[in-house]
Structures are given as structure tokens and as C-alpha cells.
């Protein structure tokens, strides 16, 4: 891991993410409801989920800024104790600035994980900009770290482990599960 990435990760107090293509593989599933109407759902990675809990345990906040509105996202945010949940926002800068004010953080203390063009603008403003392996090439150019995993397949877990290791907190997580390094 480059020293610069570790230094940036060591300062992170908030992890913000896009949803589709980051917490999911980007696929949207329309399934029929009991009355015959269609509902949108999506699949989330269970290893990303447990890792989001670890950040919560360590006092690092999390948040979502998504262009799509989905009840599945709201439910996943509840399950994983995500602090900030904003949906229906393709213009992400006003939301980013609102979250910064509420969290009382400097942009250097924020990591953002994105995969598409609407994410690049936020990535240019944070301390740790991250692109998923499946991100658009234009977005990867704005990242200081590109995950080896794709969105919905452990990319968020990879970023969380990076942050926890850079902050010397990974050993605590391993000890909780009685695992020695």
C-alpha cells in the first residue's frame, strides 16, 4: 500500500459511498409485489455489511448519497447502522456539504467510494477518494485507491479494512473474533 494512501486512510472519520455499483453490483431487480405492482430490489454483499458494523463500533460514521430512491437501500442502511442516508440526489455536492456541516468534519477526514461520473465530483473534494474495480475509467483517474473487488462483491469491505489497518484498529477487530494476526 502506498504511504500516501495509508496516511490519508489514517485520518478518516467518515466513509461516504454511492450505492449502485458500490454497495451493489449495479443490477436492479424488479419483482412483483402482493398486489401485482413491481418493486425494485437489489443485492448487497454480506461481508460489506459486517465491515460497516466495525466502523460503527470504532466511532467512524458512514453515509450514502445515491441518485436512486429505493426501499432496499433504506433497509440496508438500517441493518448496517449507516448514519447518513440521502437518496434521489444526482447533484451530490450540496448533500456532501450538508453532511460535512452536520458531522463537523474537514473534507480531509472523509473517504468517498464511487463508480460513476456523478461520484467524481465528490471524490475530488475528499481526503481519500476511492473507485471500485468496476468504476468508469474517468472515475478511476480521480481515485487515489482503486479496489481490487468490484462493487457489491466486497469493495466496501476492502476499503473498510484499509481504513481500520491504517488507524491501527484492525487488530481489535481480529481479537473480537479470537483471530491472531
The CATH number of residue 99's host domain is: 3.40.50.1000
Say if CB 111 and CB 128 are below 8 A apart. Answer: yes
Question: Can you give the pLDDT at residue 51?
Answer: 98
Question: Can you give the pLDDT at residue 2?
Answer: 66
Residue 83 resides in a domain: yes
Question: Can you give the pLDDT at residue 33?
Answer: 85
Partners of 40 in beta bridges: 30
Say if CB 16 and CB 99 are below 8 A apart. Answer: yes
Residue 140 resides in a domain: yes
Within 8 A by CB and 6+ apart from 98, the residues are: none
Task: Tell me what percent of the residues of the chain surpass a pLDDT of 90.
Answer: 92
Residue 8 resides in a domain: yes
Query: Is residue 15 over pLDDT 80?
Result: yes
Query: What beta strand segments (E) does the chain contain?
Result: 14-17, 29-32, 38-41, 61-66, 84-87, 110-114, 128-131, 145-146
Residue 181 resides in a domain: no
Residue 79 resides in a domain: yes
| Structural domain count, the chain | 1
Query: 3 pLDDT band (50/70/90 cuts)?
Result: confident
Range of the domain at 91: 3-176
Amino acid at each position: 500500500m502506498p504511504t500516501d494512501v495509508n496516511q490519508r486512510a489514517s485520518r478518516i472519520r467518515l466513509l461516504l459511498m454511492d450505492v449502485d455499483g458500490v454497495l451493489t453490483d449495479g443490477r436492479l431487480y424488479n419483482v412483483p409485489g402482493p398486489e401485482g405492482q413491481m418493486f425494485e430490489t437489489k443485492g448487497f454483499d454480506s461481508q460489506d455489511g459486517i465491515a460497516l458494523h466495525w466502523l460503527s463500533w470504532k466511532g467512524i460514521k458512514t453515509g450514502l448519497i445515491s441518485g436512486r430512491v429505493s426501499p432496499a437501500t433504506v433497509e440496508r442502511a438500517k441493518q448496517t447502522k449507516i448514519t447518513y442516508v440521502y437518496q434521489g440526489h444526482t447533484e451530490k455536492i450540496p448533500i456532501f456539504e450538508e453532511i460535512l456541516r452536520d458531522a463537523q468534519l474537514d473534507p480531509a477526514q472523509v473517504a468517498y467510494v464511487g463508480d460513476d461520473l456523478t461520484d467524481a465530483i465528490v471524490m475530488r473534494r475528499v481526503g481519500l477518494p476511492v473507485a471500485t474495480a468496476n468504476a468508469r475509467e474517468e472515475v478511476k483517474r480521480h481515485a487515489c485507491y482503486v479496489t481490487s473487488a468490484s462493487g457489491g462483491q466486497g469493495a466496501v469491505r476492502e476499503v473498510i479494512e484499509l481504513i481500520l489497518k491504517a488507524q491501527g484498529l484492525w487488530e481489535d477487530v481480529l481479537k473480537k473474533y479470537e483471530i491472531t494476526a
